[in-house]
Structure formats: structure tokens, C-alpha cells
Amino acid sequence: MASFQYSGRHRDGSAASGRIEALSKEAVASQLQEQGITPVKVEVFNPEDDGEKTSKAGHISFFERVTPDELIMFSRQMASLTRAGVPITSGMRGLANTIRNPLLASTLNTVVDDLERGNTLSTTLSKHPKLFTDLYVSMIHVGENTGRLDEAFSQMTSYLDLERKTARSIKQATRYPMFVMIAIALALGVINVFVIPAFKSVFESFGGEMPWQTRLLITISDFTVDWWHLILGGLVLSSYFFLRWKKTENGQRKWDQIKLRFPIVGGILYRAMLGRFARTFSVVLKADIPIEQGLSIVSRAMGNRYIGEKVADMRKGIERGEGFAATAHRTGMFSPLVMQMLAVGEETGRVDKMLADVADFYEEEVEYDLQNLSSVIEPILIVAIGIMVLVLALGVFLPLWELSTTING
């Protein structure tokens, strides 16, 4: 007799699964029907396959992660498969066999196993919060209940694609300034540790009074060389305590608020957050999710605790019976023009459409600011480099110039 693994449903609709010994699949189906179970899937149980799956899952690296590109591709493929009428289990299992990312493949296989036990798709996805956010799970839940699962996957594909483009634009715009600042920091370190000490012995051999610029450079260099271990230890400890503080609830909220006040880039980050709020909430309302539940979902999807708390306060205002535009105005997040658009949307019953327009407005502003970010930061960097070069030139070359004048004189 062979061992078979089955999944099905009891007469009351509850899920049933297990393992049974029988001569064939037909015999398994007959036994299950006698027990009042309607079989959904029956397959031969192979312990080696089960061990192989466990082995593969165990070999997933701790550093494995699912990139936004992979999640977008998965969502796009699921939208196409569900639109074509392909069963979710077979379609997702097929994707798991072709995906190269072991973490995503293992997760999809786990999701399919849960589906075959009778769980809903949104329930199984919610068990993997690192891959599928609350917004993703809620959209899939709405798609299941309305029979428009393909549209839910399509909406998430579009949303994730916009998020990816915004993140890439911000990284691309800030890459050059960050590279220049790191280069300046490294240059200052090399000059302090290696260059100035070499010149110091030369200056001291000349005798006489050195300019204050030279004395300042030598003092800073001596401090760096003599106490480098304390400086390094202080930087390490400061980084440790900062990261530890940032992981606390209050620290995360305060840091998220501070980031929005950074010179130049803070305003861009703030408008990007507002664009994300408007886009996400528009998607939620289009999916017919209740506004209170939608605000709760959006508050967790912001990626910024400070803004998320303001969105959560909007939900409290809605629950007290206030209008959407009134609660949005009370947060102080939006400009008067945007508030006027939201008020019109509330009056016409098309808040989702107005939110989409608000998202377009902020995203265009962010894109424009990012394109001009380099032209704004470049003069500041040039001035900083000029000041550094000026101080070094005065500190290093003034004594040499005075010495040359003395010798020639």
C-alpha cells in the first residue's frame, strides 16, 4: 500500500488535510467520501521530496531578500495568470519553480501549501509581513471578496512600480553629493594623519613664529594622531547608541521627524511622503476599503512614523464624525491648494480621484526638485572644498613663503 497526502473539505465547509494509506488515489477518494470529506487534492506522499523541500528551505541565506523588482514581477505575473483563469495554486507553484530567488520561491511554496489546506490567499500572505505589507494583503483581500483578484494584483503592480521609481530617483540624486562629502572626509583624515605631521618637523626645524593657520592645523593633527583610538571609539559608541535609540518607538518617531527638517533634502523627503500618502490612500479608496480601515492601513505603509501618526490622527477624527478635508487640514500636512482640491473631492464624492491628482502634483514637484538637486548642492560643495583648500594652503604654504622671503632677503 502507498501513502497519500490529501486536502479537502468537511460537509460543514471546514478544511481537512492529512495522510492516508491506500492502494490508489481512487481508493483514497472513496475512503474520504465515506468519512464525509470531499477531496480537493490527492497526491502520493514522498518523504524524500519532503526532506528535499526542508533542505532547500534550510539553505536560504540569512542575507537573502526580495527586491522591489522581483515583487513587481511576481505581482505582474499573478495578474496575468489570474486574468487568464489559471488556478492560483498551480500558477503560483509554477512561478515558484522558475524564480531564482530562494527566499521568494520558498515563500510561494509555503503560500501554496497553506492554500491547499483551505486558507484564503490574503490570510496566507499576511503570514509573511517582510514580503507582503498590510496594504498588499488588504488589496488582495478586497480582490478575493469582489472576485477581481487580477485587478488587485494589477493595482499593486502599478503602485510598487511608482514607489520603485521614486526611490531610485532619490538615490540617484543624492549619490553624487554623498560621494563628494565622503571624499572630503577621507581627504581631511589623510591630511591630518599623514600630511601635516610630515610638514610639522620641517616647520619646527626652521624655528621662528608660525602663522596661526599653521598652528591650528598642527594642533588638530596632533590631537588626531595622539587620540585617534578615542576618536574612533567615540564614533563607534555614538553610532551604536544612535542605532539603539533609533530602534525605540520614540527614537524612530523623532528621527523620522528630524529627517524631514534636513536642509535642502528635507523638503523633498516631506513632499515624497505626502505623495506616497495620497497615492496609497487613493488606491485604498478605489478598492472600496472603508475610509477608517484605509487610513489605518496607510498609516502603517508610510515608512515614516511621524507622518504615520498624523495619518492615524486623521482616522480618529473621521471616527469622531469629522469630514475628511477637516481632519486633513487639522494635521497641517498639506498646502492650501491641496486642501482646496481635497475639499472639492469630498463635496463631489470623488476623494479617490482628487487624491490621485494630489499624488501627481507632489510627485511632479519631487521629480523637479530631484532634477535640480545637484545644481543646488554643487555650489555649497564647491564653497566647502574652497574653504578647505584655502585653510590648507594658508597653513602649509605661508611658512614656506615667509621662509623663502627671509632667505632671499
State the CB neighbour count (10 A cutoff) for residue 26: 10
pLDDT at 234: 92
Rounded to the nearest integer, the mean pLDDT of the chain is 80
Stretch 56-64: mean pLDDT: 50
pLDDT at 40: 66
Stretch 104-116: mean pLDDT: 88
pLDDT at 406: 58
For the chain, first and last CA: distance in Å? 111
CATH of range 66-159; options 3.30.420.10, 1.20.81.30, 3.40.50.970, 1.10.20.10: 1.20.81.30
Instruction: Say which CATH superfamily domain 265-371 falls into.
Output: Type II secretion system (T2SS), domain F (1.20.81.30)
Q: Which residues of 216-241 are buried (b: 16+ CB within 10 A; e: fewer)?
A: ebbeebeebeeeeeeeeeeeeeeeee
pLDDT at 147: 77
Per-residue pLDDT tens digits for 208-258: 567 777 778 788 888 888 888 898 899 999 999 999 998 888 898 899 889
Per-residue pLDDT tens digits for 244-283: 998 888 898 899 889 888 888 888 888 888 888 888 888 8
pLDDT at 53: 44
Q: Check if the beta carbon of residue 156 is closer than 8 Å to that of residue 75.
A: yes
Q: Which three cell numbers stand for residue 356?
A: 490621485
Stretch 149-174: mean pLDDT: 83
d(C-alpha 42, C-alpha 27), whole Å: 11
**Degrees to nearest 5, angle at CA 260 with 257 and 264:** 155
**Start and end residues for every CATH 3.10.20 domain found in the chain:** 2-45
pLDDT at 54: 41
Q: What is the model's pTM?
A: 0.66
CATH code given to domain 2-45: 3.10.20
Q: Check if the beta carbon of residue 188 is closer than 8 Å to that of residue 217.
A: no
pLDDT at 240: 93
Q: What are 7's strand-pairing partners?
A: 17, 41
Parallel/antiparallel/unpaired status of strands 15-22 and 2-10: antiparallel
120 vs 53, which has greater pLDDT?
A: 120
d(C-alpha 406, C-alpha 229), whole Å: 40
pLDDT at 115: 86
H helix and E strand count, the chain: 19, 3
Q: What are 42's strand-pairing partners?
A: 6
**Start and end residues for every CATH 1.20.81.30 domain found in the chain:** 66-159, 265-371
